[in-house]
Amino acid sequence: MTTAQNLVRQTANKRTSRLLRIREAGFGLLFIAPSLAGCLVFVVVPFFDAVRRSFFNGMQGIFVGFENYIAIFQNASFQQATGNTLRFIAWCVPLLLAFSLGLALLLSKPVFGRGALRAAFLLPIAIPVASVALLWQVLFHVNGLVNNALQSLGLERIDWMATNWSLFCLVVSYIWKNVGYNMVLFLAGLSGISPALYEAASVDGAGPWTKFTRITLPCLRPTLFTVTVLALLNTFKAYREAWLVAGNYPKGNIYLLQHTLNNWFNNLDIEKVSAAATVTALVILALVAALNRAWSMQSEEVA
């Protein structure tokens, strides 16, 4: 075969390979087209419309610049809700990561009843939010089970929903609801770590803590990033439990940012809702970008 024939064959192979890639890409786009269209129609377009509305007067359609943003940052309700939400995130994310990773490490070993325990921790995911709120009321109501137990011990009843304990109750409910899902993600990450690494570390005399910090955590870094981002995003969904238990205007530390947005929407303060939603989206985006940057820097240091 001559050189010219080889070039013709290579060119034909490249063209065929390019056509196959284009066809595969086309099939891929075809499969994701319904989800992509739904995301564009119900998420992307409404969000950018909210960004546009945040610079206008909601009723008159007059351009007001950053007046809506200044108004929400000066609003006492928004300030209180933002502080409560940040405290809730600061408690929930580290505790959820610690508990879910600890359970994953425990259930990744051949312990008694491992299958039943996995199912038990996954059960809260299948329970409707309304049922969780009902359970919360049964436990933490003024006349609930917890207060009845305190009274039987000679202690005074506590109005859990009207004190600083309300945030603690919400944190416990959030962790109980989400720990099973994150545990499954960590179990998937742990299953991808080769046992040979631990065997080699044992031969070198490494202890459990050294194995955890030198093998488990570095190998779990991608999973840990995913779980952290999901935990952060899910903290903004805890509004459902707080709303079902305490309504639109809860007392104490469980008046979250979502309460303020919902109340403004009910009052048709569209410009305030749009500005607050834009700020919230930017903050979440900044937090995720910061986490991504921190994880990338750690990966570069390890490499």
- For 269, phi then psi, to 5°, come to -85, 70
> Lowest-pLDDT range, 4-13, 29-38, 51-60, 208-217?
4-13
Tokens read off for 172 = 């416990």
Rounded (10°) angle between helices 114-126 and 76-107: 160
* Residue 11 CA, distance from chain mean position: 49
DSSP calls for 219-245: HTHHHHHHHHHHHHHHHTTTHHHHHHH
CA distance 53 to 64: 10
Which is nearest to 187 in space by CA: 282, 107, 267, 128? 107
Model-wide pTM > 0.85: no
Tokens read off for 152 = 């039987």
CB 75 within 8 A of CB 264: no
∠ Cα 179 185 190 (to 5°) = 115
Write the pLDDT tens digit of every residue in 157-215.
877 777 777 788 788 888 888 888 888 889 888 888 888 888 888 888 878 888 888 88
Write the pLDDT tens digit of every residue in 214-238.
888 888 888 888 888 888 888 877 7
CA distance 22 to 6: 24
DSSP code of residue 204: T
